[in-house]
Amino acid sequence: MARKRLGKKDEAGGAPSWLTTYSDLMSLLLTFFILLYSMSNIDAQKFKNIAYSLQAALSGVGNEYIFDEGGSNDTQIPPITDDNEEGEDIIDDESMLNEPISPNIVAMFNKVSEYLVKNDLEADVTVKMQSEGVFVEIKDAILFEPGSAELKDSGIELLDKLEGLLNDFDNKIVVEGHTDNVPSNTYLYPTNWELSTARAVSVLRYLAEEKGIDPKRLSARGYGEYSPIAPNDTPENRAKNRRVNLLIVFEENVK
């Protein structure tokens, strides 16, 4: 009868005890990092885009101005950047997230957006909204020559197209002039204060005197270089800051 060979006993199946302890440690570390990530700051730009998109969806009107970052209207929501070497206070519509937006303002925003699309004005005009009202933002180059406050033919043509939009509302309209940080040093405009204000007044006077908009609805503001929407660090960003806004003021008692 054959004798069994004496030797090491066959090892039982399963992982060794040290591997179980190691797996538990890795699971705890993974949980810890997930917890840290969940407590980190939300990307402000992505959150803002989601907020705009959700607001449009809830209002029942989808439009390309809100969530289409790759579209032609890429200045609709200015990017947030920390590369601001000049220490400027960039106006990036933070009030959109911090202040409640009335449903009436959302409706006004959608109406303005539809008008711009219908009249093929998206390339030169963008629209934004805040608790103060709806901003119709016009690129400076369409309205004026550099260093000038005299309306160009293209600017007059654009304002003519916007007449129908402005007459759709009875709200007050504030014309805002903005420049970049390149100094103005001429006899007529010794600083950007004078230049931005003169441009706002030029637009105001044309709307009142040529287009017949009630002057009681109109007022003008000049901000100079001190309300930028982008750092003045590249020609492209400076072009964004040179703009004229038509603020359609939200008034609760105006329908």
Query: When comparing pLDDT for 51 and 103, which is higher?
Result: 103
In a domain, 34, yes or no: no
Q: What is the pLDDT of residue 96?
A: 45
Instruction: Give burial (CB, 10 Å; 0-12/13-18/19+) of 236.
Output: exposed
Q: What is the pTM of this model?
A: 0.64
Distances 248 to 19, 29, 53, 180, 251 between C-alpha atoms, Å: 67, 53, 22, 23, 9
Place of tokens 């993974």: 30
Q: What is the dihedral of CA 187, 190, 196, 197, to 10 degrees?
A: -80
For residues 2 and 54, give the distance between their C-alpha atoms in angstroms, rounded to a whole number. 82
In a domain, 67, yes or no: no
Does position 102 have pLDDT exceeding 80, yes or no?
Answer: yes
For residues 110 and 72, give the distance between their C-alpha atoms in angstroms, rounded to a whole number. 18
Residues 6+ apart with CB under 8 A from 112: 127, 134, 136, 165, 248
For residues 124 and 233, give the distance between their C-alpha atoms in angstroms, rounded to a whole number. 22
In a domain, 37, yes or no: no
In a domain, 1, yes or no: no
In a domain, 234, yes or no: yes
Q: Which domain holds residue 199?
A: 81-249
Q: What residue ranges in the chain does DSSP mark as E strands?
A: 125-130, 133-139, 173-178, 218-222, 243-249
Q: Report pLDDT digits (tens) over 122-167.
A: 999 999 999 999 999 999 999 999 999 999 999 999 999 999 999 9
In a domain, 19, yes or no: no
Query: When comparing pLDDT for 87 and 222, which is higher?
Result: 222
> What's the total number of domains in the chain?
1
Q: Read off the tokens for 221.
A: 């503001």
Q: What is the pLDDT of residue 70?
A: 41
DSSP 218: E
Phi, then psi, of 58 in degrees rounded to 5: -70, -30
Asked if 77 and 129 touch (Cβ cutoff 8 Å), the reply is no
CATH code, domain carrying 132:
3.30.1330.60
In a domain, 58, yes or no: no
Q: What is the pLDDT of residue 251?
A: 84
For residues 172 and 226, give the distance between their C-alpha atoms in angstroms, rounded to a whole number. 24
Q: What would the DSSP string read from start to end of 148-175? A: --SBPHHHHHHHHHHHHHHHT--S-EEE
Does position 19 have pLDDT exceeding 80, yes or no?
Answer: no
Helix, strand, coil shares, percent, the chain, to 5: 45, 15, 45
In a domain, 33, yes or no: no
Number of other residues whose CB lies within 10 A of the CB of residue 78: 21
